[in-house]
Each structure stands twice: as C-alpha cells, then as structure tokens.
Amino acid sequence: MNKVILLTIAIFTLSCQKDGPGYDLLITNVNVIDGTGAPMATDVNVFIKDGSIIKIDDSSIGYTENIIDGSGKYLIPGLFDCHVHTTDYGVDFPKLIHYGVTSVFIPGGSTATNDYYAEMRRLGSQDTIPAPRVFHTSQHFTMEGRHPVKTYASSNWVEGESVFYLRDTAQISELVRQVANYPIQGIKLTIEDGPAPPFVDRIPQEFINKTVAEASRYGLEVYAHVSDTEEFLMAVRGKATNLVHFVGIDIDWNNETHANAINDFKDLNGSIITTLMIDKSFMYPLNEAWLRSPALNEVYPQADLQDLLTPSVIKRAQAMAYITKSELGLDTLTLENIYLPQVEDLQRISGMGINVVLGTDTGNDFNFHGYSLHEEMQILEMGGMEPLEIIKMGTLNAARMMKVADSLGSVEVGKYADVVLLDANPLESIENTLSIVTVIKNGVIQERID
C-alpha cells in the first residue's frame, strides 16, 4: 500500500473520530463504587453524553473535549438526603450540592405549599444553578393542635395550604383525592406525639387505617411520621409502607409483637429513613468541638455557628440531654451509647431485606444541609455498618424508595450522570465521602461554594 493511501486512511480515521458522536464528558482511569453494593471497579473510564452515562469500561477514549483525570480518585453516585426541610431553598440548595447531595426528598414543612414545592422542583430540574433534584410528599396530614403544628408553632401553618387537618374519617377520602392530583411521591401522615414534653395526642389508629386505604386507591404510598416504638407499631398496623424516621424506635427482638411487626413491614416492601442526626443535632450545643470541623466550616463559618450558642439554646440542649439519659438509663451521654443499639437494629433490619435509606431531618440550626448527611453516614459506620452498604443506602436504596432506580441511584450505563468524584477511598473510611473534588449532576459539573 503506498504512502498516499496510508495518509488518506489516517486522515479519514481522525476525521471520523472527531466528527463521530463523541462524548460531552469523560472521567478517565477512575475507581468506581457504583452504589449497587458491588465491589469497586478500578481504573475504568466513564463516558457521559446528553446527561447520561453511556459507557463504563477501559476502552480508548476517542474524541472528547472535556476530560477529567480520575487517576487515584473515586467515583460514587450522587447522594440522596431523604429527609430534608428548607425555608430558604435559595440558600440551602447550593450547600447540598457542595456536599455531593444531588437529590433530596422533602416530607412536608411549614412553608411546603404547592407553590413552594413547585419553585423547588423548577430549580431542581435544571443543572446550571446549583440545586438538587427535588422529590416530595403532600403537605402534612395531621390534626389540629397536634404535631407538628403545635409543637413547632408558626404562622406559616395554614390549613389547606401547608397542612391538612383530619377531623373525621369521612373527610379523609376527599383530602386524599385532592392531593392525588399533586406531583407527589405519597402522603405525609403525622402520627407522632412530639419530640419532647409536653407531648400532644397521637393521631387515632382509625385515621391511619383510612388514610392508607384511600391512598392505595390512587396508587399512592403513605410516609408515616413516627418517633417511637408505639408509633412504629401503629404505622405497621395501618399498613403504612414508609417510615420517615427510625430514630426513637427501639426494637425488642425477643418481643413477639415487635418481631411480628418487623416481618409485617417487610411484607409491605416499604422503606425506613434513618434520621439518626436528630439526636446528634440536639447534642451539638454541648460539644463545641464539633463546630470546628474543617469540612463543616467550608460552608458554615465557625463564627456564625458560635453565635448560635446562646444561653437559652445551651439550656435547652442540657434539658434534652437529661431527658435522653433518663430514658436510656445512662450516666453519661455519648454518640456511642446513643447510637450503637439503633445501628444494630438497622443492620438487622437491612439484613432482612428491608429497604433502609439515608435521611437527616435537616433544617434545624445544628442539622446542616449537605454536611449532616455525611455525619449520618459516619454514625452508621461507628455503629458497625460497612461503607459499601452505607453508600448503597444513600444512593440506590433511596432511588428505589423514590421509584426512580431505573434512572438514578447508581453509576451504571443508561442512568443520569449524577456522580461525585472523591480524592480518598470511602471504603477505607466513610469520612472520605467529604474529600469531594467534583460534583456532577445530569452530566454537568456543578459550581461548589468557595
């Protein structure tokens, strides 16, 4: 073959490479923890086009304009926080993205009107302004004078806009029919009697049963707001398929009623959201060293956090600590003696095949948007859970609860390119999920907070 023909072939090959489909973004030689629980894949290339992952292998890269060298780095799916509240999403959404939280689930709140939800969904649906994808429930279904309207009093609670009051079971059918027209994941039903004394009455069992039955007529699930074992039992008796809190539930595995309830819940194919950060957030004012974490101070200046430690805040934290110690029969209060029994229960529940999902209940002053999801993961690791399982809880398990596992929740071909690039291996320590280099949502590199 003469030199002219060889040169023509070479030019044609280069032209085909450049004029071919190409890729919008390529992450090369990266270690992938895909979120499915599978072992880490090493030194692979992740090809992204039109917002999705189209190939993962070690093949040659071809023509690609935008390349991220992933050598020595670790790629995980974008994280979900499945219990988020925000009264100022313009401030809170960039913080969530900064910490690699690319999707959130919002189970109601005092500002959660239809208009407010719509604004959050709109912002979450684009990828140029930092904001997570937004999933949410209906507004709270509760009763007048109950939790959270009385326990977290606010002028924002407006009946028919941010909350629905259940006055009798006959009324529930119409309320469920109304919210079934909203773009919701399901109905938020508040069973809880409150976070601290003086407690309010719990919602009656017949209201739970009726709400679940009516919701099922429209293909909706119920997300039950519970905070202790009795409320857990009430939710299961009513066949609620999802629990928005696990914190406060104490399973006695030798108690036949408890064991049966766990098995019944498994049969419902529902999900449990962890929210262990609630207890740690109450302890923050008594542990100032936590406020000096460099990873926290990237977004939350230490001086601003110190200003939160007013005498009344510290006094309230001391009262909560006293109540917790009394309830648990403890002389001293540490993260270990609070959380080890809870994490042990969660391990056992997860081992039974029940879908366990990460959530924080972020929104109070010491439960931080974005950062506290990493604290949630650290608590689980401290209690004995393996990082691979924890990552799955914060990614694929969450996507399954949101019914979007076909498009989100793992680093797999065909799914949206919502991924987080890390500098250190999270399988060695889950704290390494904070070593974030780059956050990508829908195939677009997201701006992080300086």
23 pLDDT exceeds 70?
Answer: yes
In this structure, the number of other CB atoms found within 10 A of the CB of residue 217 comes to 11
Question: What is the pLDDT of the chain when averaged over all its residues?
Answer: 93
Tell me whether residue 270 is in a domain. yes
133 pLDDT exceeds 60?
Answer: yes
| pLDDT at residue number 114 | 98
Tell me whether residue 115 is in a domain. yes
| pLDDT at residue number 2 | 46
Distance CA 351, CA 90 (A): 38
Q: What confidence tier does 260 reach under pLDDT thresholds 50, 70, 90?
A: very high
Tell me whether residue 330 is in a domain. yes
30 strand-pairing partners = 44
64 pLDDT exceeds 90?
Answer: no
Tell me whether residue 358 is in a domain. yes
3 pLDDT exceeds 90?
Answer: no
* Mean pLDDT across 167-171: 96
The closest of 443, 391, 397, 448 to 32, measured between CA atoms, is 391
Q: What confidence tier does 201 reach under pLDDT thresholds 50, 70, 90?
A: very high
| pLDDT at residue number 20 | 45
Q: What is the CA radius of gyration of the chain?
A: 24
**pLDDT tens sequence across 202-241:** 999 999 999 999 999 999 999 999 999 999 999 999 999 9
**pLDDT tens sequence across 84-104:** 999 999 999 999 999 999 999
Tell me whether residue 191 is in a domain. yes
Integer angstrom CA distances of residue 194 from 198, 364, 413: 8, 15, 44
| pLDDT at residue number 158 | 96
Counting residues of the chain whose pLDDT is more than 70, the rounded percentage is 95
Tell me whether residue 296 is in a domain. yes
Q: What confidence tier does 63 reach under pLDDT thresholds 50, 70, 90?
A: low
Tell me whether residue 209 is in a domain. yes
3-state helix/strand/coil string of the chain: CCHHHHHHHHHHHHHHHHHCCCECEEEEEEEECCCCCCCCEEEEEEEEECCEEEEEECCCCCCECCEEECCCCEEEECEEECCECCCCHHHHHHHHHHCCEEEEEECCCCCCCHHHHHHHHHHHCCCCCCCCEEEECCCEEECCCCCCCCCCCCCCCCECCCEEECCCHHHHHHHHHHHCCCCCCEEEEECCCCCCCCCCCCCCHHHHHHHHHHHHHCCCEEEEECCCHHHHHHHHHCCCCEECCCCCCCCCCCCHHHHHHHHHHHHCCCEEECCCHHHHHHHHHHCHHHHHCHHHHCCCCHHHHHHCCCHHHHHHHHHHHHHHHHHHCCCCCCHHHHHHHHHHHHHHHHHCCCEEECCCCECECCCCCCHHHHHHHHHHHHCCCCHHHHHHHCCHHHHHHCCCCCCCCCCCCCCECCEEEECCCCCCCHHHHHCEEEEEECCEECCCCC
Q: What confidence tier does 368 reach under pLDDT thresholds 50, 70, 90?
A: very high
* Mean pLDDT across 160-173: 96
Tokens, residue 67: 């390349």
**pLDDT tens sequence across 136-148:** 999 999 999 999 9
Tokens, residue 331: 């002389």
In this structure, the number of other CB atoms found within 10 A of the CB of residue 394 comes to 31
15-24, 32-41, 95-104: the lowest-pLDDT one = 15-24
287 pLDDT exceeds 90?
Answer: yes
Q: What confidence tier does 19 reach under pLDDT thresholds 50, 70, 90?
A: very low
| pLDDT at residue number 198 | 83
CATH of residue 197's domain is 3.20.20.140
**pLDDT tens sequence across 424-433:** 999 999 999 9
Tally of domains in the chain: 1
Is residue 436 within 8 Å of residue 58, measured between CB atoms?
no
* Mean pLDDT across 160-169: 96
* Mean pLDDT across 344-373: 97
Q: What confidence tier does 62 reach under pLDDT thresholds 50, 70, 90?
A: low
9 pLDDT exceeds 50?
Answer: no
1-5, 64-68, 125-129, 397-401: the lowest-pLDDT one = 1-5
> Pairing mode, if any, of strands 419-422 and 74-77?
antiparallel
**pLDDT tens sequence across 294-316:** 999 999 999 999 999 999 999 99
Tokens, residue 156: 């924002």
Counting residues of the chain whose pLDDT is more than 90, the rounded percentage is 86
Tell me whether residue 53 is in a domain. no
Is residue 449 within 8 Å of residue 298, measured between CB atoms?
yes
Range of the domain at 286: 79-410
8 pLDDT exceeds 50?
Answer: no
18 pLDDT exceeds 70?
Answer: no
